[in-house]
Homo-oligomer: A and B are copies of this chain.
Amino acid sequence: MSTSLHHRAVEHLGTRIVGGALPTGHVMLAEHLEDELNVSRSVVREAVRVLQSLGLVETIKRVGIRVLPAHRWNPFDPLVIRWRLAGEGRGAQLRSLAELRSAVEPVAAELAAGNAPGSLRQELVGISLAMKEAGDAGDMATFLDLDIRFHALVLSGSGNEMFANLIGQVTETLTGRTVHGLMPEHPQKEALQWHMDVAHAIDAGNGAMARDAAAKIMRQTIAELAPSWDDQPRVFVPVSRN
């Protein structure tokens, strides 16, 4: 009971919409939601306002609260991402995040080589060495922790707040990959080397080298994960013409 009614209402509706239980175009009445959730109008209205700001619903006078199509949802919102990962969109969401990572991390590494503060560069080098140790020793728990921190530091070191904001999502994919047994017993030897290459290139201020090494890591990551989402259909949103 520690979570507020507002929080529970947002969560309830969000999971049901993103999870597909409430299909696109489905119309709800605020009054009906009050009964269903056993809460007052204020709670329902505040929750609906939040979902509206996420692009999940729209309110229309004289009609009610309508569920919007998925392409209107804000795919970068942490709530939406979490709800998708928890529901039937999990595969597609993981693919999207992996592709986003593969795009962002090389550029983040390149920027970090040019901008990151000295202390961050040194910590990065240290972590890459510790990763190699843990990897060679087969200590996958420690390796995962170091891996997460490594990629978080690269994103943070880019000095781009949008990249830094992806730390949470990247962490999610890294832990998810390990938890779901998609990681090899030992990390690939090349991957360990590439992490060290990224760290040393950033430390040396060599942007191109950092970018290329990070790109190699991403290519391998994608190659490992791709089979698990081969069956996920892709959605092509039509581009408005004006």
Contact = CB atoms under 8 A, between A and B. Distances in A.
Copies in the complex: 2
Consensus secondary structure, chain A interface: helix
Contact of A49 (B50, B152, B167): B50
A96 to B, nearest CB: 5
B76 A76 contact: yes
A95 B236 CA distance: 28
A74 B165 contact: yes
B99 A103 contact: no
Interface string A93-106: 00111011011101
Interface string A107-129: 11001000111001000000000
Nearest to A48: B46
B96 A161 contact: yes
A10 to B, nearest CB: 8
A155 B65 CA distance: 30
Given A74-B77, A76-B77, A103-B106, A164 B237 contact: yes
Interface in A17-45: 42, 45
27 contacts: A6-B49, A50-B50, A50-B52, A50-B53, A53-B54, A70-B161, A71-B161, A71-B164, A76-B76, A76-B162, A76-B165, A92-B161, A95-B160, A96-B162, A99-B111, A99-B158, A99-B162, A100-B104, A100-B162, A117-B236, A120-B236, A149-B241, A153-B239, A156-B239, A160-B234, A161-B235, A164-B237
Interface of A: 6, 10, 42, 45-46, 49-50, 52-54, 70-71, 74-79, 92, 95-97, 99-100, 102-104, 106-108, 111, 115-117, 120, 149, 152-153, 156-165, 167, 234-239, 241
